[in-house]
Amino acid sequence: MSRRGAVALATVLALLVGVGATLLVQRATDSGRVTEFGADAGFARDMQTHHQQAVEMAFLARDRTSDEAVRSLAFDIITSQQQQAGQMYGWLVQWGLPQTGERAPMAWVGGEHALHGAEGQPMPGMATADQLAELRAARGVEADRIFLRLMIAHHRGGVEMADAALADARTDEVRTLARAISRAQAVEITLMEGMLRERS
């Protein structure tokens, strides 16, 4: 190998080592900031669960509607919230934390930001078993109305959770996603309120 080639190879190897070291330092830094019972891990766990129910309701709506606007909304919710749930799953893996915690849902939110679900539900905005059964049994416009009502409430709860994470999370990635969720779901709430009025 020529001297020029050896120098080039050494430069590439040095860059790769540097990138690897940077990633390790970043992971160590994140792991040091994220704790088992803190807002970052709590939000990542609870919002995954919250998103999973939204995806379930969106699939039910998609399969029961003949309304293209409702079907399009359901598809958007399915794709965006599945992607976000996967992102939060990956964070917990990166932080070396389990996907489920020892504490009750929403225990990471305290003080003036404390949040609770209604009617015994673990998180704000989540539908009850009876409400999900009502959606499963409905068809057509009635299913559209039930879906929109449930998803408006679900999104409002999601905004509350995201805003709590914005206030208490330590990592930039959690705050960035929480801000995006809060803004996007606020826009969708306005959209769904209009859709519900049109179908009432």
pLDDT of residue 9: 40
pLDDT of residue 115: 54
pLDDT of residue 8: 42
Give tens-digit pLDDT for 67-87. Answer: 999 999 999 999 999 999 999
In the chain, pLDDT over 70 holds for what percent of residues?
78
Give tens-digit pLDDT for 141-152. Answer: 999 999 999 999
Min mean pLDDT across 23-37, 115-129, 184-198 is at 23-37
pLDDT of residue 120: 59
The whole-angstrom separation of Cα 106 and Cα 111 is 12
pLDDT of residue 33: 82
Give tens-digit pLDDT for 146-178. Answer: 999 999 999 999 999 999 999 999 999 999 999
pTM of the model: 0.81
Give tens-digit pLDDT for 109-134. Answer: 975 445 554 555 679 999 999 999 99
Give pairs for 182-190: CB < 8 Å, separation 24+. Answer: 184/80, 185/155, 185/158, 185/159, 186/155, 186/159, 188/73, 188/77, 188/155, 189/152, 189/155, 189/156, 189/159
- Which residues are CB-contacts of 122 (< 8 A; sequence separation ≥ 6)? 46, 49, 104, 105, 106
Average pLDDT value for residue range 26-50? 82
Residues making up the chain, counted from first to last = 200
pLDDT of residue 30: 54
pLDDT of residue 90: 98
